[in-house]
Structure 1
Amino acid sequence: MEKAEKQYDKYEYIDAQETYLKVVKKGYKSAELYKNLGNSYYFNSQFDEALKWYEDLMVSFPEEVEPEYYFRYAQTLKSAERYEDADTYMDKFFAANKEDERGRLYKKEPDYLNRIDFQSGRFEIENSSINSSSTDFGTAFYGNYVVFSSSRDTSTFKKTIHQWNEEPFLDLYKTTYNPTNGELSEIEKLNDKINSKFHESTPIFTKDGKTIYFTRNNYSNSRFGTDSKKTNRLKIYRSYKNTQGGWTTPQSLSINDDQYSTAHPALSTDEKTLYFSSDMPGGEGQSDIYAVAINADGSLGEPKNLGKRINTEGKETFPFISTSGDLYFSSDGHIGLGGLDVYVTNLNPETKEEELVVNIGKPVNGTEDDFAFIVDEGSKRGYFSSNRAEGKGKDDIYSFLQLEDLKSFCEITLTGVVTDKDTGDLLAGTKVSIYDSSNNLLKSYVVGPDAFYSHKVKCGSKYFVRAEKEEYATGEELVNTPEETKTLETPLLLEKKIKSAKIGDDLGKILALSPIYFDFDQSYIRSDAAVELAKVIEVLEQYPDMKIDIRSHTDSHGDDSYNLWLSEQRAKSTIKYMVDKGIDANRLSGKGYGESQGVNDCGNESNCTKDEYQLNRRSEFIIVK
């Protein structure tokens, strides 16, 4: 046991497994044995083997199980597609530590499998022809090449074996890239300035191809650096193209430290920010994603943790920034299908939906580790790495074609029909345009015979829907979308710029006036009524031969004869108001009708609402010449 623990503490997992298994065969059992044996497989992503020992731990020593083992056991259960059992242990994990973000995310999204299925099917994947029987992973675009990491041994002499997984150390290789079909061919190792006798992996290149950032063991100037426990950590190195076309001696970045690992560099679209994964002190979990500014002279600023929206108490790693500014990364802390899954989120979200961290779904993600995702958004082609069982080696590179963009969980459908406001006729041929809150045009339609339009927009946002048609005034509606998926009916009612009017028509209806209401038992002109009367006065001024008859109505409250008198007073009040505004009294006539011509059934002895009664307190403007 002492020997096994020493091997385990030095990350010599293969040797530790062999020693632990000898102890097990002798009949020895303990919680510590099952934990370490399970971990030695878990940290090597051998989840099927880890499952067995974690299961023994849960059955034999349930009182000695820390919450973290509930999480790890759940992860291995997922890899066996035992999702109901995994959920049971995620419930236990959350109950034991309600502050852990991994449990909180699970509780917040109990239907995570449906969510993942919703995004699935958007990629067509294929095992790459360049894979070997060893480990191949971690691709990067480099001009007409793709550069990747591999433990294939192409040297004359046997390369150093790494005791973590008993494979040769990784080197960087380049392969010719065909952007049309994504095919890779003609593999060649990068020069010895970049490759050392230890690990090199996960490169990223500047767009001009003159600078490379990559991950390497803590090894510089023939010095093998270790931390206080004699463990060699990972560091990010940078090298520049020299005048002969080769590479300068790689230099360790200022963000590195002997006491922790920094790895898997990625560049922002403007190449002014470096993203990376690290287990440096002060992070959220086992490894977090950080960003650091690249200054004009090449020096680096202070690393900034991307925070709890992205980082959990688990592993967040392998960042990649797309040309549109989306962050792709792998995580076992966000809710997934098992092992590491690939997720995407917006780096600078403007809406609540853009803040979401989204599992990109099957077939990129599966029950094992899926990571190192990169995509060329122009061709929709890219690569990711996975240790899934059907691969050629321990880790394989998979090419993909993206068939469909990310689906919006919350989606609003704006629909409506364009009609004539006065006649209700369908207005075929109307141009309908959708604008965002910054007045940027999103889409324009010319509606067909059904005058119907439909367009999908984001939740929690503001849009303008504009309708334009010859002979009609342009109409526009402001729409504030909710934070839930639904269809919003937004009808568009257009008014003709020039309307016809004949004797007997109500000028109020032609002008689409708001009703001229009077307060209860009153005949004075309210301020809202004055606004509407101004429109009538404007028309009378434009058409000096027009004459109108003003007809005033009351509700049924009070005595019939009183209401008749009140309506007469209201008609006279309206006429006086218009005369005072300059209209010749000879062009105006008026009469009160009391409650005799109500627009509803709110007559005597009715029990209507206040608003229903008010509908009858109105004025009409009938054209008589």
Structure 2
Amino acid sequence: MKKISIAAFLVFLILGVSAQTTSVRKAMADFEKAQVYLNDNNYAEAIASLKNAAAADPNFKNAIIQLAELNRRIKSFEEAKLYYQKAIDLSGGSDVRLYYGLAESQVNTGDYNPALKNINLFIDQYTGNDKAFLAKAKKYRKDCEFSITALKTPQKYEPVNLGSQINSAHRDYFPAITADNETLIFSRNIAGNEDFFISKKHNKEWSSPVSLSSNINTAQFNEGAQSISPDGQYLFFTGCNRPNGLGRCDIYVSHKEGNSWGQPFNLGAPVNTIYWESQPAISPDGNTLYFVSNRPGGIGGYDIWKTQLNEEGEWSLPLNLGPEINTPYDENTPFLHADGKTLYFSSDGWPGMGNKDIFLSRIDSTGHWSNPLNMGYPINSFNEETGLIVSPDGTEAFFSSNLKDGYGDMDIYQFKLPEDKKPMAITYVKGIVRDKETRKFLEARVQVVNLGNKKTAYNDYTSTDNGQFLAVMPFGADYAFNVSADGYLFYSENYELKSANGNKPFLLEIDLERLKVGTNMILKNIFFNTNEYALLPPSVTELATLKDLLKNNPNIHIEVQGHTDNVGNDLQNEKLSVNRAKAVYDHLIESKIDATRLTYKGYGETRPIAGNETEEKRKQNRRTSFIITKI
């Protein structure tokens, strides 16, 4: 279904009325002058002429109707209400369409009770056959009913301006924040030119913003509506009217190469089309991109779509999010939180407080979205709310507004989120990768895998410029964390977050060791049941990393080692450790690793790396490791 249009109604009100309703010559002359201005779409002069006509003849109904409708068109709703009410009085309520115009104007000024009364009058008396028009009226009725209830249960809402350190006398909007809450990128409009600015947080204070990069910002084009990946390495944004564009507005991406942003490139087909694509939102794993488009095949005028990155690095044919999210009206400004499940977006199709409201929806394990939840009053109001993002820890939201206490036409604000509007809790692992001996930064692969569903939560490379990485890990799952580089022993860690809470990050300085005889490492993601030696399924992630190490370095020989704690019989512990080491050995042979390169041995409880007086320490001693025996 295409976007609902009430164009026929607008034409009736503005051009379809009879001009022969006044005997006052001056009123008639001014009315006819107004029609000339209307034909030229000169609303300001048309309104001035119509006001003169109404002043010359206060009972000139058609001039009053046109004043009502024109003021509604230019969103002067307070004026529109006055003229609609006068038109209704002059017509004795004979034209029910006037009740529609009055109700819409009242919704847009927050007068929900009289708006509900008037929209019901329209619905009850309308006998026309314009189904889309009637559907829009019923939508306004739902808005009024929702708003009357919402006003009785307001949310706590105390927006705080980010201050003159961020905001300026210009228009500042569309904030985006990295997962560590330390980098803020936003759009600033100076004399009609939109560019990106960046600020860094130092000692809990934002630095003075500077232009992001000359590789991204341009003098001749506008850049805006951006989404930053949680690690701050990829910037997806909207570029319009560019020479390499497919449509009026396309989606572009730039990759941060070390400390510098690379040249952006157009995502191309099938993401971009000859239509309008904008407002990207990247998932925390970097594999799903949500965006807004008015392309054919949608439900409304502007819908939210998604595309997925395949193993070849190509974006799939976009899919519409469907009626779970989209409506016959407009959906805009999607923002997917770092939890990968909570989507915030704006819509004028779901029941709200008029204009666009902000909603949230959560995706479940089957891929279905929950019924959109209105953020409530006064987060939403009769004004247009759009472009909200949520901090990584889920406690605060950021948005742009022209509130009275601002520094310019549009400022960036933040506020505390109500509990029921918060996303899932997340944490992250952040650090640097270096050579253990030279201390130089390394280009290394950093991978985080959800051990429950086997999905890759993060997969990217550090650079030799700074060796930095940041990977998001939502709570509710356990994760395998691996860092590998050519010619080095890989790094292994396990994060048990299935039942954890809080959001304290894991900060690491990883020193990778070059491959040499005698170096050894603990395989943190090899799992067995208690007193058993059959490898559990989550072990496959680490085993694959070990297999890759051996295949990429065919001269390496290793000994797989099993270890236990000191609980139980010494001989039983030794036997268990031997069998567990052999289980890894057997898996590698099944993976086509030459058996002559492999040995295994169980050491029981004889080589503890921690004490055995607590369960936490005994857990460290129960481990599988390997040592390089030959190169």
Which residue of structure 2 lines up, in the alignment, with residue 203 of structure 1?
226
Q: Is the 8 A contact 1:194 1:250 kept in 2?
A: no
Specify the SS of the correspondent of 2:74: helix
**Structure 1 residue 245 displacement after superposition:** 0.9
1:341 aligned to 357, 364, 387, which one?
A: 357
**Structure 1 215/249 Cα, relative in aligned 2: closer, same or farther at 3 Å?**
closer
**Within 1, Cα distance between the matches of 2:89 and 2:170?**
36
Which residue of structure 2 lines up, in the alignment, with residue 299 of structure 1?
314
**Structure 1 77/109 Cα, relative in aligned 2: closer, same or farther at 3 Å?**
closer
2:396 aligned to 381, 402, 406, which one?
A: 381
Q: Is the 8 A contact 2:250 2:266 kept in 1?
A: no
1:138 aligned to 171, 174, 187, which one?
A: 174
1:121 aligned to 150, 155, 175, which one?
A: 155
**Structure 1 residue 388 displacement after superposition:** 4.4
Please say if 1:187 is aligned against 2:209.
yes
Please say if 1:319 is aligned against 2:357.
no
Specify the SS of the correspondent of 1:308: coil
Which residue of structure 1 lines up, in the alignment, with residue 146 of structure 2?
112
Specify the SS of the correspondent of 2:360: strand
**Structure 1 residue 283 displacement after superposition:** 2.7
Specify the SS of the correspondent of 1:241: strand
Structure 1, residues 77-121: CA drift from partner, whole Å, max 9, x if none?
234221112223443675666677665566668642365357632
> 2:183 corresponds to which letter in structure 1?
Y
In structure 1, the gaps of 5 or more residues are 9-15, 154-158, 160-167, 227-232, 409-440, 444-625
**Within 2, Cα distance between the matches of 1:403 and 1:189?**
33
Q: Is the 8 A contact 1:140 1:203 kept in 2?
A: yes
Q: Is the 8 A contact 2:144 2:353 kept in 1?
A: no
**Structure 1 146/85 Cα, relative in aligned 2: closer, same or farther at 3 Å?**
same
**Within 2, Cα distance between the matches of 1:2 and 1:198?**
38
**Structure 1 residue 125 displacement after superposition:** 1.8
Please say if 1:78 is aligned against 2:107.
yes
Specify the SS of the correspondent of 1:87: helix
2:74 aligned to 32, 35, 41, which one?
A: 41
Matches of residues 526-541 of structure 1 in structure 2 within 5 Å?
none
Q: Is the 8 A contact 2:68 2:82 kept in 1?
A: no
Which residue of structure 2 lines up, in the alignment, with residue 355 of structure 1?
370
Identity of aligned residues (%): 27
1:236 aligned to 248, 251, 255, which one?
A: 251
Q: Is the 8 A contact 2:397 2:414 kept in 1?
A: yes
**Within 2, Cα distance between the matches of 1:284 and 1:383?**
29
**Within 2, Cα distance between the matches of 1:286 and 1:56?**
34
**Structure 1 residue 360 displacement after superposition:** 1.1
Specify the SS of the correspondent of 1:18: helix
1:173 aligned to 194, 197, 200, which one?
A: 197
Please say if 1:397 is aligned against 2:412.
yes
Specify the SS of the correspondent of 1:397: strand
**Within 1, Cα distance between the matches of 2:348 and 2:118?**
15
- TM-score, normalized by length of structure 2? 0.50
Q: Is the 8 A contact 1:179 1:381 kept in 2?
A: no
In structure 2, the gaps of 5 or more residues are 1-33, 55-61, 424-497, 501-631
> 1:280 corresponds to which letter in structure 2?
R
Which residue of structure 2 lines up, in the alignment, with residue 420 of structure 1?
none
**Structure 1 266/313 Cα, relative in aligned 2: closer, same or farther at 3 Å?**
same
**Within 1, Cα distance between the matches of 2:329 and 2:105?**
14
Which residue of structure 2 lines up, in the alignment, with residue 272 of structure 1?
287
**Structure 1 271/38 Cα, relative in aligned 2: closer, same or farther at 3 Å?**
farther
Q: Is the 8 A contact 1:116 1:361 kept in 2?
A: yes
**Structure 1 residue 390 displacement after superposition:** 5.2
Matches of residues 203-602 of structure 1 in structure 2 within 5 Å?
203-220=226-243, 233-242=248-257, 245-251=260-266, 253-254=268-269, 255-258=271-274, 260-324=275-339, 325-348=341-364, 355-378=370-393, 380-388=395-403, 391-406=406-421
**Within 2, Cα distance between the matches of 1:170 and 1:360?**
29
Specify the SS of the correspondent of 1:269: coil
Structure 1, residues 270-324: CA drift from partner, whole Å, max 9, x if none?
3222112222234333322222223344432222222233222332111111233
The structure having more radius of gyration, on CA atoms, is: 1
Structure 1, residues 403-458: CA drift from partner, whole Å, max 9, x if none?
523499xxxxxxxxxxxxxxxxxxxxxxxxxxxxxxxx999xxxxxxxxxxxxxxx
**Structure 1 residue 266 displacement after superposition:** 0.9
**Structure 1 124/55 Cα, relative in aligned 2: closer, same or farther at 3 Å?**
same
**Structure 1 307/208 Cα, relative in aligned 2: closer, same or farther at 3 Å?**
same
Specify the SS of the correspondent of 1:309: coil
> 1:81 corresponds to which letter in structure 2?
G
> 1:82 corresponds to which letter in structure 2?
D
**Structure 1 40/98 Cα, relative in aligned 2: closer, same or farther at 3 Å?**
closer
Q: Is the 8 A contact 2:64 2:84 kept in 1?
A: no
Please say if 1:24 is aligned against 2:50.
yes
> 2:208 corresponds to which letter in structure 1?
E
**Within 1, Cα distance between the matches of 2:222 and 2:87?**
34
- TM-score, normalized by length of structure 1? 0.51
**Within 1, Cα distance between the matches of 2:202 and 2:78?**
36
**Structure 1 21/135 Cα, relative in aligned 2: closer, same or farther at 3 Å?**
farther
Count of aligned residue pairs for this structure pair = 374
Q: Is the 8 A contact 2:236 2:282 kept in 1?
A: no
**Structure 1 residue 201 displacement after superposition:** 1.7
> 1:330 corresponds to which letter in structure 2?
S
1:88 aligned to 117, 120, 142, which one?
A: 117
Structure 1, residues 146-199: CA drift from partner, whole Å, max 9, x if none?
111222x2xxxxx4xxxxxxxx2422222234796xx64411122233223343
> 2:413 corresponds to which letter in structure 1?
Y
